Structure 1
Amino acid sequence: MQWANFLAKEAATHSLSLEQTAAFLKYFNNEILGKSEAKLINELNVDVVAFRKWMGEIYNKFAQSYLELVISNNRDKLEKLQAYLRAKYNSELDVLKPLAAMKLLKTLVVRERLQQEPWVARRICKFLGYSPLALELVGRYLDKMPDLSLETLLKRLEKKRVEHEAVVNANSLMPYEYGVAEAFELSWEQLDENAQSFGCLLSLCALADIPLSLEAREDNKKQEWLSAIANLLELHLLQQKSKGIYCLNPLIRQLFQMKLNQSNKADEAKTNFAAMMLEVAKLIPQQPNPEDIFNLTPHIPHITEVATQLFQYVGDENIITLFTKLAWFYQGQGLYQQAEYWLQQCVEVTQNHLGLEHSDVAASLNNLAGFYKSTGRYSEAEPLYQQALKQRKHLLGDNHQDVATSLNNLAQLYDSTGRYSEAEPLYQQALKLRKRLLGEEHIDVATTLSYLALLYESIGRYSEAEPLYQQALKLWKRLVGEEHPHVATTLNNLAALYCYTGRYSKAEPLLKKALELRKRLLGENHQDVATSLNNLAQLYESTERYTKAEPLYQQALEMSKHLLGDNHPDVAISLNNLAALYRNTRRYKKAKPLFEQALKICEQTLGVSHPTTMTIRANYASFLREAYH
């Protein structure tokens, strides 16, 4: 396969437009990227802005097949893409020597059969371009047709070449793979209709391992899939890597896609595939745990394929779900750049597909703002929250629960940035609106009560915060029962207030109860359990019970590392807390590396201006003054 053909195939696989394809082929045909941008622009007869726009769009499309590209620096993005293409090209450029090709054919076809027509066998190897994939396909084909002569086989292959070349010539963007295409055509004719349809469906998957879960299928569909898989495996059109895990060769995948697009069932297949992947995407929780990550990871490339290539088949009402769930998958692992990409794509796709005057556009803006807030990028979050609020009021009117949600979210942002005087009236508006729309007894009302109580606690208005916490606690217990994580969270927050006001004897039983609840409801290994351990340790530290605090801090730290990985902001907070304990007990040599680790994690994940980063930096600076001056 020639480099130019390979590039053309990649352009088709990634659904590049005609303009993008022209720019892509021009740019990457020069294997060392030696041509100047100006020269390429001149050859394409476009302006600089258009060329750079095309290259950016091309890069983003490829980034979905090669996720490391998503986190590349701007300066080396295209060089990284070039390296990826080169590596992939080399892996596909798998051509045997003539003698090796014959040796492979002898392992696939009965020796006596080859001995009857040895020169024809050599001609077949040459015709197939000495491609091991093509030889494997032909060998499986001959195995199913024991009475077919090699001469007749060669004639059939030659006929298929003529037919296939006519299709290729009619489509200048379609790459042509000598040998594999003709062998595939013969194999295609051996498939029953069920296997043909299933192969075409699989071709919509990404270029990645394909997990096929048959247990969830209805009995009739399960039998159809089992029969199709067996048929495809028999002809080497599908490979099984392990139990339930399969893969398609990139060339076979493309040939199946070609068959699908030539049929009258392409839209139906794409709709069905998109619906299947959407159902898997819906399983992604907002805060995935390690088990969720492990179970969902094999499906992510295929959900991504729908989000990048087939989102128009998802249905308007589900577009926001698809993109948001992908963002949750990455954000839950601390992979913030990938999460941001999908939330930005959600805004762009909803705006382009649904129009600016749509409630899902406001929701996508709200979600992106929430991400920016959670990662400390408050200046980017604020205009998006404000835009979402304005749009929801315009589309839904002032008296709608989505408007209340936007008010609550904007208030949280102001609360997080210390703009308490701006946050308070928004919380109060949200609370009043939620009570009017949803009634006094509603989860959203309890949520806003809790946030307003937190605000009052933050500014020292403890006498106003306490009754709100107590009110929220009673409401949670009535609405969701005594045994619920929300009850544990409110107990924890109320205990924190008691700690701030020096009422440690009232705080301790609440913290212990919250910890016990979380362990029972969420399991021993959960991040909320780690948070409770930290909080109880802080109480013990505040009351100078250091020997009781230290093991709890250590346990919380190990749990957070296990659940979130070593480079997560919550791990940094645990490191900071343990370091502070060592500082207070004058174990400076133990404290210093923990402060340094905590600061490094926060600077890398949250940025230097995030409040958590600034707090830990201040703690570290204070420690250095105390320990070394």
Structure 2
Amino acid sequence: MQWVNFLAKEAATHSLSLKQTAAFVKYFNTENLGKSEAKLAKKLNVDVTAFRKLMREVYGKFAQNYPELTISNSQGKLEKLQAYLSAKYNSELDVLKPLAAMKLLKSLVVRKRLQQEAWVARRICKFLGYIPLALELVGRYLDKMPDLSLETLLKQLEKKRLEYEAVVNANSLMPYEYGVSEAFELSWEQLDENAQGFGCLLSLCALADIPLSVETIEDNKKQKLWEEAIADLLELHLLQQKSKVIYHLNPLIRQLFQIKLEKSNEADETKTKFAAMMLEVAKLIPQQPNPEDIFNLTPHIPHIIEVATHLSQYLGDENLITLFTKLAWFYQSQGLYQQAETWLQQCIELTQNRLGLEHSYVVTSLNKLAGLYESTGRYSEAQALYQQVLELRKRLLGGNHLDVATSLNNLGLLYESTGRYKEAEPLLEQALELRKRLLGEEHTDVATSLSYLGLLYESTGRYKEAEPLYQQALELWKRLVGKEHPHVATSLNNLAALYCYTGRYSEAEPLFKQALELRKRLLGEEHIDVATSLNNLAQLYESTGRYSEAEPSYKQALELSKRLLGDNHPDVAISLNNLAALYRHRGRYRKAKPLFEQALTICERTLGVSHPTTMTVRANYANFLRETYH
């Protein structure tokens, strides 16, 4: 493998843009080592500042897989990346000895055929640079062409080299792997139009394993075409199968297919088709994916990201928001909030660039980012965005619109969660009145607003005002959706919690139990809402001194949360904290301490040190330490 081709491959692997690739290849090309940035910038027809900016971006891309590049010294970055690239290049040469190359070719081609033209066979190995991939391609090609002489094959390869070199000389950034490129050209000519198109489609996938489940395709004709294309690509070693539904496309083969795609008249159509395929997969990501969802979706994520990163222009306006939001949900559900934030920020930037600053889709994107900030305790940032969204919606839609009611509600709930009750109350009341006016008294959104206003009254100790709102919401849900519905369970749970706060435990317990049984029946035993109900019931048992009943409920809630959310989720931290508090109250300090520590570690890592939940857990742990060590 030539060094310049290796650099081009590394550029593709790390998703560098065309400008970044040009700067990267120039900077690290052997002939340019030691040259000043000014001279290199001149070669690229950019000023030194622009060149340095491009290289900073390059370092940032490589730093994702090579953290040592996060050092601040630019010269240190250069030296470290040079060393990294050199080590990787030497380890990836993967060139066989001449005898080993012949041995590989003999394993692929009928021995008698090679013996008849042994000298030519050795020349072919040398021509191909003793590269395993090139030998594999040629061997599979010969297997399909039993009457082709090796001498004729060698002439074909030599002709392809001359043709390819002419193209490469006209495009200095075009990747060219001696041996592999010529062998690929021969294999390409053996493919029918269907297999060629499918190979080009696969080349748009990320540099990762490719999940292909043909059986899930409902269109029988399309399924058959895909099956035939996969079989043809496998036969010529242009695609490898790793397991029943997982395939691998060699990075260089991927680049060569991409070149074919860009030269074709179907490039835009194929990219649109691929983007649509990945969008359909992204739509399968629920707002709160469980571990099974995450396991099943993980193989698809790199390819969805490939669309988000490089092919977003082939998505419609609304679909753009869908793709980025789904990616954010995937990461947010695992407590990976920084990644989730990145995708939502990119969504805002793309929609603004495409549609302008004042468009409903931009507003939707801003609102989703505000929700993420709120959930991670970044309340000042969430507030600013919620206020911006509210003003934009009023300006774009007028004051009497349901989206305005939603924004009033969101901002009101944010104020409520941060204890700013006087500011929250008028907003939540306006949201309720607006929904009643636009939707009538009998609507699910009205029931939701009643519950939120009840929550505010409950938070401010106005229990007599909260109770009728919770009761109205419960009755409204029952009338609108029937008694057997998750929203009814939530309303039962809200009312029961209010009764607990006011010491009416005998009234709360049957409601908590109804909510738990309803959730189990409607959602199944393995659902996060079931864990919430178990936790609430355990708290009631603890409040009434029934510790032997509280402990198993807390444990069930904790284990269920871990199974559904993973070990490092804020809800798991809350369950750990609750169980630790129970052990503390019962004097079982040895059991309490590690649970408090685990809860605090999870909260600090996922929510940050200033989040109210983190501060509550930290205070509980501090009180425990004072109690047990003084």
Q: TM-score under structure 1 normalisation?
A: 0.93
Q: Name the CA shift for 1:362/1:104 in 2 (closer, same or farther; >3 Å).
A: same
For 2:432 and 2:56, how far apart are their aligned partners in 1?
44
Q: Deviations over 1:330-380 (max 9, x none)?
A: 111112121111111111111122221211111111111110110111122
* CA RMSD, Structure 1 to Structure 2 (Å): 2.6
Letter in 2 for 1:98: P
The equivalent residue for 2:193 is 193
Q: Name the CA shift for 1:474/1:85 in 2 (closer, same or farther; >3 Å).
A: farther
For 2:517 and 2:38, how far apart are their aligned partners in 1?
66
Contact 1:572/1:601, CA 8 A, preserved across alignment: yes
Q: Deviations over 1:261-319 (max 9, x none)?
A: 10000111111111111111111110011221122111111111111111111112210
1:132 aligns with 2:132: yes
Letter in 1 for 2:481: V
For 1:328 and 1:477, how far apart are their aligned partners in 2?
30
Q: Deviations over 1:430-467 (max 9, x none)?
A: 11222222222222222222111111111111111111
For 2:127 and 2:37, how far apart are their aligned partners in 1?
37
Letter in 1 for 2:495: L
Q: Name the CA shift for 1:59/1:394 in 2 (closer, same or farther; >3 Å).
A: farther
The equivalent residue for 1:572 is 573
1:114-263 equivalent positions in 2, closer than 5 A: 114-217=114-217, 218-263=219-264
TM-fit CA distance, 1:24: 2.5
For 2:629 and 2:540, how far apart are their aligned partners in 1?
28
The equivalent residue for 2:19 is 19
Q: Name the CA shift for 1:590/1:13 in 2 (closer, same or farther; >3 Å).
A: closer
Match of 2:41 among 41, 44, 50: 44
For 1:334 and 1:207, how far apart are their aligned partners in 2?
25
1:409 aligns with 2:410: yes
The equivalent residue for 1:498 is 499
Q: Name the CA shift for 1:57/1:384 in 2 (closer, same or farther; >3 Å).
A: farther
1:611-622 equivalent positions in 2, closer than 5 A: 611-622=612-623
For 1:521 and 1:604, how far apart are their aligned partners in 2?
33
For 1:184 and 1:610, how far apart are their aligned partners in 2?
56
The equivalent residue for 1:397 is 398
For 1:615 and 1:548, how far apart are their aligned partners in 2?
25
The equivalent residue for 2:352 is 351
Q: Deviations over 1:116-166 (max 9, x none)?
A: 111211111111111111101100111111111111100000111111112
Letter in 1 for 2:596: F
Aligned residue for 2:237, secondary structure, equals coil
1:465-480 equivalent positions in 2, closer than 5 A: 465-480=466-481
1:377-396 equivalent positions in 2, closer than 5 A: 377-396=378-397
For 1:43 and 1:617, how far apart are their aligned partners in 2?
54
Contact 1:531/1:556, CA 8 A, preserved across alignment: yes
1:374 aligns with 2:383: no
The equivalent residue for 1:509 is 510
For 1:435 and 1:2, how far apart are their aligned partners in 2?
71
The equivalent residue for 1:111 is 111
Q: Name the CA shift for 1:534/1:35 in 2 (closer, same or farther; >3 Å).
A: farther
Of 516-525 and 219-228, the range deviating more from structure 2: 516-525
For 1:323 and 1:6, how far apart are their aligned partners in 2?
32
Letter in 2 for 1:139: G
Contact 2:41/2:48, CA 8 A, preserved across alignment: no
Aligned residue for 1:177, secondary structure, equals coil
Aligned residue for 2:214, secondary structure, equals coil
Letter in 2 for 1:153: L
1:585 aligns with 2:583: no
Q: Deviations over 1:396-428 (max 9, x none)?
A: 222222222221111121111111111111111
Aligned residue for 2:215, secondary structure, equals coil
For 1:491 and 1:62, how far apart are their aligned partners in 2?
52
Letter in 2 for 1:264: N
Q: Name the CA shift for 1:69/1:418 in 2 (closer, same or farther; >3 Å).
A: farther
For 2:406 and 2:339, how far apart are their aligned partners in 1?
26
Aligned residue for 1:246, secondary structure, equals strand
1:600 aligns with 2:601: yes
Contact 1:61/1:308, CA 8 A, preserved across alignment: no
The runs of 5 or more residues in structure 1 that have no matched partner are none
Q: TM-score under structure 2 normalisation?
A: 0.93
Letter in 2 for 1:356: L
Paired residues in the alignment total 623
Of 541-550 and 579-588, the range deviating more from structure 2: 579-588
Aligned residue for 2:216, secondary structure, equals coil
Contact 2:551/2:579, CA 8 A, preserved across alignment: yes
Contact 2:291/2:566, CA 8 A, preserved across alignment: no
Contact 1:9/1:174, CA 8 A, preserved across alignment: no
Q: Name the CA shift for 1:99/1:309 in 2 (closer, same or farther; >3 Å).
A: same
For 2:209 and 2:449, how far apart are their aligned partners in 1?
44
Letter in 2 for 1:433: L
The equivalent residue for 2:96 is 96
For 1:467 and 1:265, how far apart are their aligned partners in 2?
63
Identity score, percent: 80
The equivalent residue for 1:298 is 299
Aligned residue for 1:11, secondary structure, equals helix
TM-fit CA distance, 1:18: 4.6
Contact 1:550/1:578, CA 8 A, preserved across alignment: yes
TM-fit CA distance, 1:216: 3.1
TM-fit CA distance, 1:10: 3.7
Aligned residue for 2:529, secondary structure, equals helix
